[in-house]
Amino acid sequence: MTVIAHYRDVPKTARGFSIALGNFDGVHTGHRAVIEAAAKVDAPLGVATFEPPPRAFFRPEDPPFRLYRPARRNARLAEVGAKAIYELPFNADMAKMTDEVFAREVLAEGIGAAHVTVGFDFRFGRGRMGDAGRLASLGRALGFGVTVVEKIEALGAKASSTAVREALIAGEPDRAADILGHDWVVDGVVEHGEKRGRTIGFPTANLHLGELIHPKHGVYAVRVRVEQQGDWLPGVANFGRTPTTGIRDPLLESYIFDFDQDIYGKWIEVALVQYLRPELKFEQLDDMVVQMSKDADQAKSLLL
């Protein structure tokens, strides 16, 4: 799988692809329907997305909203068959493009698309001026075919990244998983923390989520994988500010059952499986330890 971070001077080997075009944050069931439609065209399968996402460009002060970091998104796209990923740089120049200029300079002349597939609600061009019908018209004029995929529903509503975010913010990772088609996973490098957990029998692997969306604060049943190898290991995690021991920036702290390896500085993935309870402030540390034991037992009953 090839990742191309531009649309100018694209090598010949990456031209003539059937392109699934969109944001693809999360690679949920709706996204996969677009990709599957693009794969039916007699041409190599490529995925074109925007980096950074237009929302990040236009609304840089928004809270974190990404479902996946670019590397994880690209890995998911490769898993569903993409042979090339075009990370179209969304900047001031692209934001000013009309729908016609985008179709000509980026899709036709830039990446040399043989065919383009989009979702029914796709918008493009300055001020979101163009829609899927307009893209089909421009494609006919510029020499590439266009397929429009109709709405895909999950749990009775449109499958969308927005719906996934809403589920996570509401503390419903199971609903998010239904839309995604898999558990929502965060990843990153394990950081050194206060190391208080090891003194009370619950050593944790700590992650700051950074640009990733912040799910509802509280305790979750989770599965964890280290360095993208081996089995997913059951555990329990807290995401929040730890009001009992001192409020600080939100942190995901994962306790892996029956695990004693030193993984500081290693890359881990944490899949949120089930929300157990809100984050609480305890009057005594001993009270918190008792509740953590109950949380671990509840998570084990769900995961083991």
DSSP string, 13-53: GG-S-EEEES--SS--HHHHHHHHHHHTSSS-EEEEEEES-
Q: Give the strand order in the sheet containing 145-149.
A: 2-4, 84-89, 45-51, 18-21, 115-119, 145-149
The three-class DSSP label of residue 222 is: strand
Query: Which pLDDT score, from 0 to 100, does residue 248 have?
Result: 74
* Residue 22, pLDDT score: 97
Helix orientation angle between 161-169 and 173-180, rounded to the nearest 10 degrees: 160
Residue 247: what pLDDT?
65
Predicted local confidence at residue 196, as pLDDT: 64
Q: What is residue 156's predicted lDDT score, i.e. its pLDDT?
A: 72
- Kindly list the structural domains of the chain, giving each domain's residue range(s) and its CATH number in brackets, ordered by start: 2-154 (3.40.50.620), 183-303 (2.40.30.30)
pLDDT for 244: 72
The single-letter code of the amino acid at 197 is G
Tell me which residues of the chain have a pLDDT lower than 50.
none
147-198 pLDDT tens trace: 999 988 876 778 899 999 999 999 999 999 999 999 999 999 999 876 666 6
Model pTM score:
0.92
CB atoms within 10 A of CB 198: 11
**How much is the pLDDT for 152?**
85
